[in-house]
Homo-oligomer: A and B are copies of this chain.
Amino acid sequence: MRPKNLEKEEAIRSIALKIISEEGLENLSMQKLAKAANISPRTIYIKYENKEDLLVKLFIEEVLGTYEKAILENFNPEMGFAEGMKRLWLNTFHYLKNNKPSFSLIQYGKSSPLLNKAFQEKNIQQGEFFAPIHRFLKTHVKTGLIPDLPHDVHRALLFSPIQDLVAEYFDHLDRPQQIINEELVLTCCEIVIKGITNQKHHEQLKK
């Protein structure tokens, strides 16, 4: 039995992401992808049932999977709040700024009904997605350091600014100078931390 050529599988994934990030999701076609990867269209259909299957698997397994791993590196839920937040923000910044195709697909995940649906299903089904962050926040809610809000609301308050900053980082690649760097990211992170933490509680702990 002829064995699979793993290089071709990898080429399909990486070239698909490249096309999406450079030309947009609406400009990715199976034939264009096959041509760019120097294979026959049929070869894509050995690994993936159809285009939807390819996109969903690419999004969930390839992008979200590695994204999660990268963000949680050197992070653990028992960390202090400020320390943990800074770790998560820096991990997000460094991973995404070096993986533009992933960032592009994540952005598409927020608007495209197809990927949006896939994301929600994954998020609800396994419930384990970003579970350490969930636990981290719960801990600090319990001590009263941060307010008890729904998890989705915590996410909007604590992590949407860093994702927006990454978008700005990519926008500024086309401009004369880059304004988004690690120092600025940390400054912004501190502002977000200051907003959500209960100062009185913090001072009581010090006493």
Please tell me if the beta carbons of A150 and B179 are within 8 angstroms of each other in the complex.
Answer: yes
Q: Is the interface of A mostly helix, strand, loop or mixed?
A: helix
A140 to chain B, nearest CB (A): 14
Known contacts: A160-B160, A160-B164. The answer to whether A153 contacts B188 by CB under 8 A is: yes
Tell me if A141 is interfacial: C-beta within 8 Å of chain B: no
Please tell me if the beta carbons of A179 and B153 are within 8 angstroms of each other in the complex.
Answer: yes
Known contacts: A112-B26, A195-B191. The answer to whether A165 contacts B156 by CB under 8 A is: yes
A79 to chain B, nearest CB (A): 20
Please tell me if the beta carbons of B108 and A111 are within 8 angstroms of each other in the complex.
Answer: yes
Q: Which of A17-25, A34-42, A70-78, A130-138 contacts B (4 or more CB under 8 A)?
A: A17-25
Residues in chain B near residue A179, CB distance under 8 A: 150, 152-153
Which A residues from 86 to 107 make CB contacts under 8 A with B? 104, 107
A33 to chain B, nearest CB (A): 15
Tell me if A82 is interfacial: C-beta within 8 Å of chain B: no
A77 to chain B, nearest CB (A): 22
Bound CA–CA A110/B149 (angstroms): 27
